[in-house]
Chain A
Amino acid sequence: MLEAHDLAAGFDGRTLFDGVTFALESGRIMGLCGASGAGKTTLGRVIAGLHRPSAGVVRIDGQQPASGKAQPVQYLHQSPLAAMNPRWKIRCILAEAGQPEAGLLTAFGVDAEWMGRFPHELSGGQLQRISILRALTANPRYLIADEITAPLDPVSQARIWHLLGQIARSKQIGILAISHDRALLDRICCQGRFELGQRGLIRHEAAGPVGVIDPDPAGRSARSAGRTAVRC
């Protein structure tokens, strides 16, 4: 279990948030939303060990993650293009994390032909799938998905979240989904949606059925894909 105790963080002496305490269970998806500038991304980065908190501690199964090896919490950037070396081809980008499982390559619909391409030669959705695949290849225990589907069309969003939901369950990976889209979080998060404010997190219960979006395999309209909810 990933536990955050009394976390506080900010920049240049200005505190963005404090008193953030929560626990994320393996195999579950937890939603995080909040106003722009509330510190959602900073909180995600603190949990992934990319930003030093001004107070508080993050523990995984009671221990603080050690540096110098593949981190158990992997952070997924909103822009996968920025998170990939522009001089590297997809083959090298994936290989940096290790050898991806053949099953995952198929599940993410990765074409063998993409391997010889540079990041800017793939679309946003394709690149985000590569980014997730790379993070999963590092065998993480938890993923921080920071607005990973924000720039994508509803069908691509649904496809990615459906896959992540399945993988979270099968590989027992806990996911913190950060988004402005409360409706999306209500659909995908089985551990509830939390709102980040200056004084910590406030839990919101989802109004509708909590579940994973159906990726619309029959190719129905994007709108209908966004509405369909299935079990968590």
Chain B
Amino acid sequence: MNGRVGALLAALLAAMLIVAIALAPAGLGETGIRADFAARNLAPQSGHLFGTDQMGRDMLARSLHGLALSLEIGLIAAGLSVAIAILMATLSGLGRGTDRIAGFVTDAMLAMPHLMLLILISFALGGGTAAVVIAVAISHWPRLARILRAELLQVAAAPYIETSRALGRSRVFIIRHHILPHLLPQALVGFLLMFPHAILHEAGLTFLGFGLEPSRPAIGVMLTEAMRHISAGRWWLALFPGAMLLALVLAFETLGSALRRLITPREAQC
């Protein structure tokens, strides 16, 4: 089995796990959301593998609901953020004038305190899922845009770019066919790093009261609630949602590295 086949299998496994998590809430229905006061604060046991919380909700079902929600918010927020970063990096690649504009906007965004920007945007949009997604997307792209711009400048200086120009290829062709495919692995890594970050910010905003409604089963909400109960010995409230979040992030990382190997032919053979 060579590197490419191995990477493809790893990517498929990780993708399957992510899809399974995304589809889980459909099968669970109301389990994990509706309170059952007859089964409050149960430790992990056969009926409730991850135990139950102070309102008697099954933590396994609740964690799966939370992961699906985090997945949705993280994916959209990080995806939007990466899209903005790629757009700004592409602007940098179009010419000196556009590079200056893109650089100014990126610097201006970086100059603003991160958390304050998040709170302001989320507050201005009235809170809720859409507000969190937009706030995280708008406040997180500048760092990745910087990395992508540096990568773009390096690729743009490669001899095959000047050869392409000498062969009569247009600037748009060069950006689309030569430069953007080289930025993809960096964008992918940026996306993967941004994904857990987005989830954490979602939890942070929710904790401060500008994010998701507390009734929604987000992992961030669960971990914040667990902080209050962990001193009472209810370790399962924090451990299982946290471990499942970790598994989801690891699945993304496996998917990301496998895809990077697949789209970098030389690396796949090493």
Interface residues of A (CB under 8 A from B): 48-50, 68-71, 74-75, 77, 79, 82-87, 96-97, 118, 120, 134, 138
Instruction: Give bound CA distance, A120 to B162, whole Å.
Output: 19
B35 neighbours in A (Cβ, 8 Å): none
| Pairwise interchain contact A96-B266, C-beta atoms closer than 8 A | no
| Pairwise interchain contact A83-B168, C-beta atoms closer than 8 A | no
Q: How would residues 243 to 270 of chain B score, 1 for a CB under 8 Å from any chain A CB and 0 otherwise?
A: 0000000000000000000011110000
| Pairwise interchain contact A83-B264, C-beta atoms closer than 8 A | no
CB of B163 within 8 Å of the partner chain: yes
| Pairwise interchain contact A68-B168, C-beta atoms closer than 8 A | yes
CB of B166 within 8 Å of the partner chain: yes
B159 neighbours in A (Cβ, 8 Å): 77, 79, 82-83
Known A68-B168, A69-B168, A70-B168; judge A83-B163 contact (CB<8 A): yes
B162 neighbours in A (Cβ, 8 Å): 50, 75
A50 neighbours in B (Cβ, 8 Å): 162, 166
Expressed in whole angstroms, the minimum distance between the Cβ of B182 and any Cβ of chain A is 7
| Pairwise interchain contact A75-B166, C-beta atoms closer than 8 A | yes
Q: How many interface residues does B have (CB within 8 Å)?
A: 18
* 27 A–B contacts from the bound complex (CB under 8 Å): A48-B166, A50-B162, A50-B166, A68-B168, A68-B170, A70-B167, A70-B168, A71-B166, A71-B167, A74-B166, A74-B167, A75-B163, A75-B166, A82-B158, A82-B160, A83-B159, A83-B160, A83-B163, A84-B160, A84-B163, A86-B266, A87-B265, A96-B164, A118-B266, A134-B167, A138-B166, A138-B167
Contact partner, A118, options B168, B181, B265, Cβ 8 Å: B265
CB of B114 within 8 Å of the partner chain: no
CB of B169 within 8 Å of the partner chain: yes
| Interface residues of B, dominant DSSP | helix
Which of B167, B168, B170, B178 is most buried by chain A, counting CB atoms within 10 A of its CB? B167
Which of A70, A79, A83 is most buried by chain B, counting CB atoms within 10 A of its CB? A83
Expressed in whole angstroms, the minimum distance between the Cβ of B42 and any Cβ of chain A is 54
Instruction: Give bound CA distance, A79 to B160, whole Å.
Output: 11
**8 Å CB interface, B170-203 against A:** 170, 178, 181-182
A118 neighbours in B (Cβ, 8 Å): 265-266
Expressed in whole angstroms, the minimum distance between the Cβ of A77 and any Cβ of chain B is 5
Instruction: Give bound CA distance, A134 to B160, whole Å.
Output: 12
Expressed in whole angstroms, the minimum distance between the Cβ of A170 and any Cβ of chain B is 22
Instruction: Give bound CA distance, A138 to B169, whole Å.
Output: 11
Residue ID in chain A nearest B173 by CB atoms: A96
Residue ID in chain B nearest A92 by CB atoms: B177
| Pairwise interchain contact A70-B166, C-beta atoms closer than 8 A | yes
A49 neighbours in B (Cβ, 8 Å): 166
**8 Å CB interface, B40-68 against A:** none
Expressed in whole angstroms, the minimum distance between the Cβ of A204 and any Cβ of chain B is 30
Nearest 6 Cβ contacts at the A-B interface: A70-B168, A69-B168, A82-B159, A83-B159, A71-B166, A118-B265
B168 neighbours in A (Cβ, 8 Å): 68-71, 138
In addition to A70-B166, A77-B159, A84-B163, 6 A-B residue pairs with Cβ atoms within 8 Å of each other are A48-B166, A49-B166, A71-B168, A75-B162, A86-B265, A138-B167
